[in-house]
Amino acid sequence: MLASIDKGVYVALVASYGFLAATYLLRRNGIAQLSWAVWLLHTFLLAVRWLEVGRTPFSTLYECLSLFAWSGVLAYLLVQRFGREKVRWSGVVLFAIMAAAMGYGATKDPTVKPLSPALDSIWFEVHVIPAFASYALFVAAFAFQLEFLVTAARRERLDFFSRKLILFAFPLLSFGIFSGAGWAEETWGTYWSWDPKETASLVTWCVYLAYIHASRSPRFARVPSRVLNILGFVSMMFTFLGFNVVARLLGLPTAHAYT
């Protein structure tokens, strides 16, 4: 019963996020309220999955993509709600990304399996929750940065939102990476082994570190820092999703592949 609700709502959300992207493009009224309604439906889906699996639902790619979309949409809608800026392109981009992410997730196996012994640890939540919270803020930051760049009237507040979101996300990503290192130390005895996925996550951290410092430098504050914001997003998406594909293509040995 729960499994069929889960799958049905998951697919409905793919369509809803695609519809929201189109609605932002067409600038329809009531879009914010509709977005919140879809997000509430997504919250319901997470609750159903939680009940179904009997643990925090973030272990498989099917579950992680759902959590990514849920948290990214929440971060975006909160900034939009309290920031009171009119937006269009950021909404198109953000909801298109979420529709694509959930669409990809819908192709994955939703079967519930127990956690493997290495994942069955308190570190699982300690590591995953801050990492995904940071991803959510980074994706919203990317969307606002893109809207700032593509609109003719450069609205500084969008650039400002983006910078602040990254500033808020950075400690969470740091905590996610360091807690992952602590977990690796408890499991394998090595807090850092230069595993390709670990390295990719450190690349993301470094790009955002460079962004934060560049945005405070008079020389780098404008174009270079905005380029770094875009690169940071690309790096984050690569670490989260692209890495799995590349690791398979290049035969990279890793202990961190999603199933």
Angstrom distance (rounded) from CA 147 to CA 158: 7
What is the nearest approach in angstroms of another protein to the Cβ of residue 178? 5
**Exposure string over 85-94, b if 16+ CB within 10 A, otherwise e:** eebebbbbbb
Angstrom distance (rounded) from CA 61 to CA 41: 20
Stretch that binds another protein, among 89-97, 114-122, 136-144, 145-153 (CB under 8 A): 114-122
Asked if 227 touches another protein (CB under 8 A), the answer is: no
What is the nearest approach in angstroms of another protein to the Cβ of residue 38? 22
Angstrom distance (rounded) from CA 153 to CA 150: 9
At residue 114, the 3 state secondary structure works out as coil
What is the nearest approach in angstroms of another protein to the Cβ of residue 18? 28
Angstrom distance (rounded) from CA 192 to CA 165: 28
Q: Give me the DSSP letters along 131-177.
A: HHHHHHHHHHHHHHHHHHHHSSS--HHHHHHHHHHHHHHHHHHHHHH
What is the nearest approach in angstroms of another protein to the Cβ of residue 99? 26
Binding letters toward another protein, positions 137-176, x by CB under 8 A? --------------------x--xx--x--xx-xx--xx-
Asked if 182 touches another protein (CB under 8 A), the answer is: yes
Binding residues among 70-109 for another protein as defined by CB under 8 A: 79, 82-84
Identify which of residues 150 and 186 has a Cβ nearer to another protein in the complex: 186
Asked if 253 touches another protein (CB under 8 A), the answer is: yes
Distances (CA, A) of 183 to 45, 113, 190: 29, 22, 9
Angstrom distance (rounded) from CA 80 to CA 17: 17
- Helices assigned H by DSSP within the chain: 2-26, 31-53, 61-83, 89-106, 123-150, 156-188, 196-214, 223-237, 243-250
What is the nearest approach in angstroms of another protein to the Cβ of residue 199? 4
As given in the structure block, the two tokens for residue 25 are: 């493009």
What is the nearest approach in angstroms of another protein to the Cβ of residue 195? 9
Binding residues among 199-218 for another protein as defined by CB under 8 A: 199-200, 202-203, 206-207, 209-210, 213-214, 216-217
What is the nearest approach in angstroms of another protein to the Cβ of residue 148? 16
Q: Which residues bind another protein (CB under 8 A)?
A: 79, 82-84, 112-114, 116-118, 120-121, 123, 157, 160-161, 164, 167-168, 170-171, 174-175, 178, 182, 185-192, 194, 196-197, 199-200, 202-203, 206-207, 209-210, 213-214, 216-217, 219-220, 224, 243, 246, 250-253
